[in-house]
Structure 1
Amino acid sequence: MTPYVADPVYLNGAYLPLTEAGVSPLDRGFLYGDGVYEVIPVYSRRPFRIDEHLKRLQATLDGIRLANPLAVDAWKSVVLRLIDAAPWEDQSIYLQVTRGADDKRDHAFPPAGVPPTVFAFSSPLVTTPAAVRATGVAAITVPDLRWSRCDLKVVSLLANVLARQQAVEQGCAEALLIRDGQVKEGAASNVFVVRDGVLLAPPKTHLMLPGITYDVILELAAAHGQPLEVREIGEAELRAADEVWMTSSTKEILAITTLDGVPVGTGQPGPVGEAMWQWYQDFKNTVMRNG
């Protein structure tokens, strides 16, 4: 076990130490990034919205024309066994399926008899430290150079990796992706904007990954009477925003207080984001931790 991956991991029907897990160098996930993944947050050893995560996994598999190797109940069995074996109360369960390893390198799909590669493991779920959350973080904007099926959670993430690395090299926490003058999401997060007290959320399209945390934010806004508009957000609106947030299961609600070197709003986390963070914590403690 490493500090970040618990033993055992799951690989192709077996539970084994990470050091003993291996795949063929001809695996199409290695050669082409031909595979999908899913990440399920776990609170107090209870997987959050596992059905929704497995539904999204199925949608991505359908999108790349790869048959699901496991039934829903089998996936749940894998997830629960990994949770039980891991030492952490709060975890992040990673699932990955690739199109498997043929006996040659060929762009076309391998023969039907080639089995997919199925891999899963547990990591600790680490959220943003309070000191970072109190000040917010810096981000940059970059052109969105990804393909047009960003709604599919595929392992070929090189464009996201390069965008995130560009942010890191500039001392920033995230890169916000701009396509055709509209903000879509972050390299590894969803994005929300607040203007004049109204929460703005980009719509779910093929140009954005449909985040589970994104759904929770919309639900909490509706439950607490927070004015909300789900629509395209122009780059000018982003730069004139009173608040900008990045959201994910690990970031939760994290204010972006500097964008491309310019303060967002007052340059401090704003009141709408602070209220949403508290609503999220209440939801986590009353719902997420109770199954």
Structure 2
Amino acid sequence: MRTVYVNGEFVPEAEAKVSVFDRGFLFADGVYEVTSVLGGKLIDFEGHAVRLERSLRELGMAMPMSRDDLLAIHRRLVAENGIEDGLVYLQVTRGAADRDFAYPDPSTPLTVVLFTQAKPGLADAPKARTGMSVVSIPDRRWGRRDIKTVQLLYPSMGKMEAKARGADDAWMVEDGHVTEGTSNNAYIVKGDTLVTRHLGEEILHGITRAAVLKVAAEQGLTVEERPFTLEEALAADEAFVTSASTFVMPVVEIDGASIGGGQVGPVARRLREAYLEESRKAAV
């Protein structure tokens, strides 16, 4: 049985509880982060902590603890649950208060929950060798996708639609351009040029995205941060996605059409290897 963290206490998962009046449950009034664990160490922890602070700030919530304390909780959960490869999920909500659309008094204690998931062989996913398939769907999410909120119903619906259509995931499209995947940032490669959507309120500011773009520049790729269309993606040499749990994951099919001959391309393969190597070195 896993040990989880709930509002200052480490408890067995069966004893972990939050109020039925919690605003995360009633309004999806909360944010989250996911940090990968490889070899028992946390990947890109600092970046996730910085983004957590930003998400909270955008919603008018305070950071519930220092980064050092947050790191200590992550490390204790990893150790107590024996996580070699896996994930640490963190959720912070505005806390429990009588149901009202208006925010409760600022003195209301925030709800803070962390738990782990063991994912043996996380960095050795078979899809990294064969590539994944995606389908396109309309992007019908709210407008502030740069805030990593817990309101994930539409991305969940998108994943289920992809599954029903025989694909691994979905790319969301708005105004004729790809925004992102249901839980990842999207990229295409043409020659020596890497294209991914620019940062803004339309997409999540991926922590893995930032690291991979740095690696891409170091490897001599030209990076263009701009919207791209499905037509551009279908004509690309390669495509891939990035996220904290998939790292760099090649995409070899979009809406049933092959990308790059349906084979994992050299750029995605090289970026994945380089990102994992650098991340392991910097892991805490």
Q: CA deviation at 1:110?
A: 1.4
The match for 1:235 among 209, 230, 234 is 230
CA distance in 2, matches of 1:223, 1:129: 24
Structure 2: gaps spanning 5 or more residues? none
Q: Who is 2:159 aligned against?
A: 164
- Superposition deviation, residue 31 in structure 1: 0.9
Q: Answer yes or no: is 1:69 the counterpart of 2:49.
A: no
Distance in 1 of aligned mates of 2:75 and 2:123: 25
- What is the distance in 1 between the residues matched to 2:137 and 2:124? 26
Matches within 5 A, 1:94-133: 94-102=89-97, 104-126=98-120, 127=122, 129=124, 131-133=126-128
TM-score by length of 2: 0.94
1:190 deviates by 1.0
Corresponding residue for residue 134 of structure 2: 139
In structure 2, what is the equivalent of residue 253 of structure 1? 248
Deviation by residue 1:161-220 (Cα, 9 ceiling, x = unmatched):
111111111121111011111111100111110113311121111111111111121111
1:143-154 to structure 2, matched below 5 A, reads 143-154=138-149
Size of the aligned set, in residue pairs, is 283
CA separation of 1:278 and 1:76: change in aligned 2, threshold 3 A: closer
Q: Are residues 1:194 and 2:189 paired?
A: yes
8 A contact 1:183–1:238 mirrored in 2: no
* RMSD, aligned CA: 1.7
Amino acid at match of 1:116: L
The equivalent position to 1:43 in structure 2, one of 33, 38, 46, is 38
Aligned to 2:27: 32
Which structure 1 segments of 5+ residues have no match? 2-6
TM-score under structure 1 normalisation?
0.91
Contact 1:214–1:248 (8 Å) recurs in 2? yes
Matches of 2:279 and 2:94, distance apart in 1 = 35
Q: Which runs of 4+ in 1 moved over 3 A?
A: 128-131
More displaced 10-residue stretch of structure 1: 166-175 or 47-56: 47-56
Deviates more, 1:54-63 or 1:217-226: 217-226
Provide the secondary structure at the position in 1 that maps to 2:90: strand
SS in 2 for 1:95: strand
Once the two structures are superposed, residues 90-148 of structure 1 have per-residue CA deviations (whole angstroms, 9 ceiling, x without a partner) of: 2311111111111x211111123321111001222453655432221111011111111
> Once the two structures are aligned, what percentage of the paired residues are identical?
35
Distance of 2:103 and 2:278 partners within structure 1: 44
